[in-house]
Chain A
Amino acid sequence: MSLMSDKELPQLTNDEIKRYSRHLIMPEVGVDGQRKLKAGSVLCIGAGGLGSPAAMYLAAAGVGRIGIVDFDVVDFSNLQRQIIHGTPDVGRSKLASAKDRINALNPHVDVQTFEEMLSSENALRLFEGYDVILDGTDNFPTRYLVNDACVLLGKPNTYGSIFRFEGQASVFATKNGPCYRCLYPEPPPPGLVPSCAEGGVLGVLPGVIGVIQATEAIKLITGIGEPLIGRFLIYDALRMRFRELKLKKDPDCPVCGTHPTVTKLIDYEEFCGMRPPAEEAAVAAVNASRNATEITSLELKKRLDRGDKLTIVDVREPNEYQINRLPGSILIPLGEIPRRYAELNKNDELIMQCKTGARSGRAADFLRTVGFTKVLNLKGGILDWIDKVDPSQPKY
Chain B
Amino acid sequence: MATKILIPTPLRPYTDKKDAVEADGATVGELLADLTKKHSGLKAHLYNEQGKLRSFVNVYLNDEDIRYLQKEQTPVAPGDTLSIIPSVAGGV
0/1 string, B44-80, CB within 8 A of A gives 1: 0100000000111010100111001000000000000
Closest to A163 in B: B88
* Partner of B92 from A50, A234, A246 at Cβ < 8 Å: A50
A184 within 8 A of B: yes
Please name 11 pairs of A and B residues whose Cβ atoms are closer than 8 Å in the assembled complex, sorted by A.
A138-B89, A138-B91, A160-B91, A161-B90, A166-B9, A184-B56, A185-B55, A186-B55, A188-B54, A188-B86, A201-B90
Closest to B90 in A: A196
What residues of chain B lie closer than 8 Å to A46, measured between beta carbons? 91-92
What residues of chain B lie closer than 8 Å to A166, measured between beta carbons? 8-9, 88
Binds B, one of A103-111, A237-245, A343-351: A237-245
> What distance in Å separates the Cβ of A291 from its nearest Cβ neighbour in chain B?
28
What residues of chain B lie closer than 8 Å to A163, measured between beta carbons? 9-10, 88, 90
A156 within 8 A of B: no
* Partner of A49 from B14, B63, B91 at Cβ < 8 Å: B91
0/1 string, B26-58, CB within 8 A of A gives 1: 000000000000000100010000000011101
Going nearest first, the 5 A-B pairs with the smallest beta carbon separation are: A48-B92, A196-B90, A163-B88, A335-B13, A186-B55
Query: Number of A-B pairs whose CB atoms are under 8 Å?
Result: 108
* Partner of B65 from A164, A199, A247 at Cβ < 8 Å: A247
A9 within 8 A of B: no
What residues of chain B lie closer than 8 Å to A135, measured between beta carbons? 91
A244 and B85 alpha carbons, distance in the complex (Å): 12
A160 and B91 alpha carbons, distance in the complex (Å): 7
Chain B's interface size range is 20 to 34
> What distance in Å separates the Cβ of A349 from its nearest Cβ neighbour in chain B?
28
* Partner of B87 from A72, A184, A245, A338 at Cβ < 8 Å: A184
Count how many chain A residues have C-beta atoms less than 8 Å from C-beta atoms of the other chain.
51
A243 and B6 alpha carbons, distance in the complex (Å): 11
B83 within 8 A of A: yes
What residues of chain B lie closer than 8 Å to A243, measured between beta carbons? 63, 83
What residues of chain A lie closer than 8 Å to B56, measured between beta carbons? 184, 186-188, 193
> What distance in Å separates the Cβ of B39 from its nearest Cβ neighbour in chain A?
12
A193 touches B88 (CB 8 A): yes
Query: When A183-B58, A187-B56, A335-B14 are in contact, do A245 and B65 touch as well, CB less than 8 Å?
Result: yes
- Beyond contacts A163-B9, A166-B88: 7 other A-B pairs, Cβ-Cβ < 8 A, are A49-B90, A78-B92, A187-B87, A195-B89, A232-B85, A234-B83, A339-B41
> What distance in Å separates the Cβ of B46 from its nearest Cβ neighbour in chain A?
11
What residues of chain B lie closer than 8 Å to A162, measured between beta carbons? 88, 90-91
What residues of chain A lie closer than 8 Å to B60, measured between beta carbons? 245
A281 and B6 alpha carbons, distance in the complex (Å): 45
A172 within 8 A of B: no
A236 and B10 alpha carbons, distance in the complex (Å): 12
Closest to B88 in A: A163
A82 touches B92 (CB 8 A): yes
B85 touches A199 (CB 8 A): no
A248 within 8 A of B: yes
A143 and B91 alpha carbons, distance in the complex (Å): 10
What residues of chain B lie closer than 8 Å to A51, measured between beta carbons? 91-92
Interface residues of A in 57-93 (CB under 8 A from B): 72, 78, 82
> What distance in Å separates the Cβ of A307 from its nearest Cβ neighbour in chain B?
37
B10 touches A193 (CB 8 A): yes
